[in-house]
Every structure is written in structure tokens, then in C-alpha cells.
């Protein structure tokens, strides 16, 4: 049987490491077993390996096969619901403590890149682009909110000054986050995998977990092998399936679509993104874009609820790209793909524990790049007995979607339509 392969994305085509790790075919022991070789799993594994633990990672397909290897590659701070929402709904203490962690994920990413010399085309600077006056006012509020929590590398952009960063007439202004940035997401996760292996960690690919047997020692079964571990971390997110029914009920996979153009000339690149920043707009169903390391435009957006894969990705994304950059009419699209992220009802991540020794983190709701790296540090600390920050996340309620599996998709789609109309009319 052929080894599983990545999706046909630009990232897979330009991956630095195309080596395939072995399949688990034996009974082994470990201090920690991680289910899933994405950002959550590998951040947790790396932090634990740095502390001297024997770590085994089981990946059902390939390293970074899911959202970690398919996403827009942008460092965006905080959570899908920002700190003011958290404070309003869950109390000032929870908001303050989560505010202290809201900008840590980006620092962890940069630390990994620097410490392990990960080659992933890291570039600096990210922009939240406002499509109307209401969104621009919201960005002014975000700037004040983040600055109140110690994040000061921010600059408001007017309709004129944003032209120095984005060659488009679409935006009324925006917010420049100088500590934001962008990178090749699959090469980041592959670099983290290599870093883990350099510390003695072991990764098995094509080793889908079929059953988790709870106990004082947890047994994690695959089709051909088993890992017995003191602790397990479940980090499958939108690709976990129904392995842990308690988790599957709490969140819903959703898809986002991405295209990549053929390489652009230097003049075209300077015309589109003169400062080489990444951008996401402020709509509920947002667009996001940036230049790759080899000068292509990577443009993504849209949401499909329930993780179905659209048949014609280009037809969904190219019109939005041309609305932003009409000067790209006729440009060739070399790659188009979709990837799933995990949405929670409250759009906040879900941390928890099953029994005394099975931990999980999931449901970053579109803010997974930084939040997943933070999760790895928080889970690592909790396993080592420092659970204060873990307890903050675990205290957040984890509601199922109304309507169960049958009606959660149409209900969520109706909600998205409502917010899309608000964006359209600027209210």
C-alpha cells in the first residue's frame, strides 16, 4: 500500500523535508504519547522533550497533513474571540490571565525558528485591513485593547497610508502589527518535527490511532502497534474524527480554501504588497493573502461548514482576489487546495483532561497558528505539575453546537450569513 501523501498544495510541492517516517508496527513504551503531528502536538512534544521526557508522536497521515500544513501562514495574535469578549463573558480575572498569554504563541514560533534554525521563509509584519468605517473603528478599539495588555508594536493606517502596504483601493485603513508576520507553514511544522527528533523524540507516520484505552498507564492502539504511556495528549483537532466521541461533539470541522499564483515579477510583487506584509481583512468571512518566499501571491478565504471539499476552489477564491487586486486579471493559478480548521460554538479554544492523564487542546476557530503553539507550552507545563495556566483555559465552558450533528451546519451557516450582511452594509 502506498504511503499517504499531502494534499496537492504549494506548500507540499515546496516542502524542505519529503522524508517519510516509519509506521508503528510494535508494542512500545513512552513517557508521553502525542496523537497528531501538527502544531499542537509538536509544540507540546518539543516542550516536553526539552524537559527530558521520552516522547512518541503518532500521526495518522503525514507530518502537518492537516491545518498545520495547509493554512495561510500568518502570525495573528490573541484568540478568535478577543480579550474584551473573554472578560465580559467569563470575568475580569479570566480575561486578564488570558490576556497575559495572548501574544505568547508568536514568540514561541520565533523561538523555535531561531533555536532550531528552521528554514520557513519567515517575514515580518501583519495588517488587519478594514473594508469600511465601522471596521476601522473596531481596529482602533483593538489597538487600545492590545496596548492595555502590553502589546505596543501597533500602528493605525489611514486610507492613504495603507496604500504604502497594499496596492488596492479596497480598504479604508487598517492596523499594522509589527510583531505579526508570515512563513511557510508546512516547512515550520516539518522543522519542528526535525527538532523533536534531534532531542530523541520519535514520530510515526501512517499510524492512525484506532483506540485509546484509559488507565493509570494509557494504551494508544494503532492498526499494527501500541504505545503505552504515562500521559497522552490528543492533538488531532479537525482531523481527529470520532476517535474520542466526547471531543467530537464539542466542535465542528470547517474548511478554508487557498490558491497560489504562478511566480510574479518583482514589479508585480512591489505593486501588490510593497512592504511584503501579510494581510487579513476584517470581515466575518475574511480574505487573507501574502507573498511566498519565491514571489507568488497566496490568497485564501471562504468557509465551508462540515469540512466538505468544494469542487472548484478557484471559482470561489479568484473573484475575491480580483476584487482586491484587479491588476492580476489573467494571472495563472498554479495551486488550489482546501484545509479544515475546528470551530467551537464560542469560538474559543477547548482545553481539558479525560481521567487523570489524557489531555487535549482543540478548536482554535481560525486562530490556530499562534494558539496551538501556546497550547503546547501550556499542556507541557500542566503535565509537569504547573497547571495554573492550563486551569484558566480548562475553566472555559465547552458547549456543543445546537441541533447536534444534523442541524449544526445549517445553523452555523445562517449565523455566518447574518454577519456577512453586517460586513456588507458596514454595521
Residue 19 CB-half CA count within 13 A: 10
Is 246 domain-assigned?
yes
Strands 251-261 and 333-344: antiparallel
**Distance, first Cα to last Cα, the chain:** 54
Is 269 domain-assigned?
no
Is 46 domain-assigned?
yes
Count of structural domains within the chain: 1
Is 121 domain-assigned?
no
217: containing domain: 10-70+186-250+346-396
What gap in Å lies between CA 247 and CA 362, rounded to an integer? Answer: 9
Is 281 domain-assigned?
no
Is 385 domain-assigned?
yes
Question: Residue 87's closest CA among 396, 415, 407, 349?
Answer: 396
Domain of 60, CATH number, reads: 3.50.50.60
Q: What's the DSSP call for residue 237?
A: G
Count the neighbouring beta carbons within 10 Å of the beta carbon of residue 5.
11
In tens, the pLDDT along 233-242 reads 999 999 999 9
In tens, the pLDDT along 28-75 reads 999 999 999 999 999 999 999 999 999 999 999 999 999 999 999 999
Is residue 311 over pLDDT 80? no
Is 176 domain-assigned?
no
Strands 333-344 and 154-157: unpaired
pLDDT > 90 fraction of the chain, expressed in percent and rounded: 86
Q: Indicate the average pLDDT of the chain.
A: 93
| Cβ atoms of 155 and 176 closer than 8 Å | yes
The reported pLDDT for the residue numbered 426 is 56
Residues comprising the chain, all counted: 427
Is 356 domain-assigned?
yes
Amino acid at each position: 500500500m502506498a504511503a499517504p501523501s499531502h494534499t496537492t498544495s504549494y506548500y507540499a510541492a515546496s516542502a524542505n523535508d519529503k522524508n517519510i517516517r516509519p509506521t508503528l508496527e510494535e508494542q512500545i513504551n513512552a513517557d508521553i504519547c502525542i496523537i497528531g503531528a501538527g502544531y499542537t502536538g509538536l509544540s507540546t512534544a518539543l516542550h516536553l522533550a526539552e524537559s527530558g521526557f521520552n516522547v512518541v508522536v503518532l500521526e495518522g497521515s503525514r507530518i502537518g497533513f492537516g491545518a498545520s500544513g495547509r493554512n495561510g501562514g500568518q502570525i495573528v495574535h490573541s484568540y478568535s474571540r478577543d480579550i474584551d469578549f473573554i472578560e465580559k463573558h467569563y470575568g475580569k480575572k479570566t480575561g486578564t490571565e488570558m490576556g497575559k498569554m495572548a501574544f505568547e504563541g508568536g514568540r514561541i514560533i520565533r523561538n523555535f525558528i531561531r533555536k532550531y534554525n528552521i528554514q520557513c521563509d519567515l517575514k515580518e509584519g501583519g495588517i488587519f485591513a478594514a473594508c469600511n468605517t465601522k471596521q476601522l473603528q473596531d481596529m482602533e478599539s483593538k489597538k487600545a485593547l492590545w496596548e492595555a495588555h502590553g502589546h505596543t508594536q501597533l500602528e493605525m493606517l489611514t486610507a492613504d497610508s495603507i496604500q504604502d502596504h497594499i496596492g488596492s483601493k479596497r480598504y479604508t485603513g487598517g492596523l499594522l502589527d509589527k510583531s505579526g508576520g508570515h512563513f511557510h507553514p508546512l516547512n515550520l511544522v516539518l522543522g519542528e518535527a526535525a527538532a523533536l527528533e534531534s532531542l530523541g523524540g520519535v514520530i510515526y507516520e501512517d499510524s492512525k490511532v484506532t483506540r485509546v484505552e484509559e488507565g493509570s498507564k494509557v494504551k494508544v492502539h494503532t492498526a499494527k502497534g501500541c504505545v503505552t504511556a504515562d500521559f497522552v495528549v490528543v492533538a488531532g483537532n479537525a482531523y481527529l474524527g470520532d476517535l474520542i466521541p466526547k471531543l467530537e461533539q464539542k466542535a465542528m470541522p470547517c474548511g478554508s480554501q487557498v490558491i497560489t499564483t504562478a511566480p510574479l515579477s518583482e514589479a508585480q510583487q512591489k505593486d501588490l504588497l510593497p512592504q511584503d506584509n501579510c494581510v487579513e481583512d476584517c470581515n466575518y468571512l475574511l480574505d487573507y493573502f501574502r507573498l511566498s518566499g519565491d514571489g507568488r501571491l497566496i490568497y485564501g478565504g471562504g468557509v465551508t461548514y462540515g469540512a466538505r471539499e468544494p469542487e472548484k476552489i478557484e471559482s470561489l477564491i479568484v473573484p475575491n482576489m480580483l476584487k482586491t487586486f484587479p491588476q492580476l486579471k489573467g494571472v495563472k493559478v498554479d495551486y488550489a487546495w482546501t484545509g479544515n480548521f475546528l470551530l467551537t460554538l464560542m469560538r474559543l479554544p477547548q482545553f481539558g483532561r479525560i481521567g487523570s492523564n489524557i489531555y487535549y487542546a482543540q478548536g482554535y476557530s481560525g486562530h490556530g497558528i499562534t494558539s496551538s503553539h501556546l497550547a503546547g507550552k501550556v499542556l507541557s507545563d500542566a503535565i509537569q505539575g504547573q497547571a495554573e495556566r492550563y486551569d484558566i483555559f480548562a475553566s472555559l465552558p465547552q458547549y456543543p453546537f445546537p441541533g447536534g450533528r444534523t442541524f449544526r451546519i445549517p445553523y452555523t451557516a445562517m449565523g455566518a450569513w447574518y454577519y456577512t450582511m453586517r460586513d456588507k452594509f458596514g454595521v
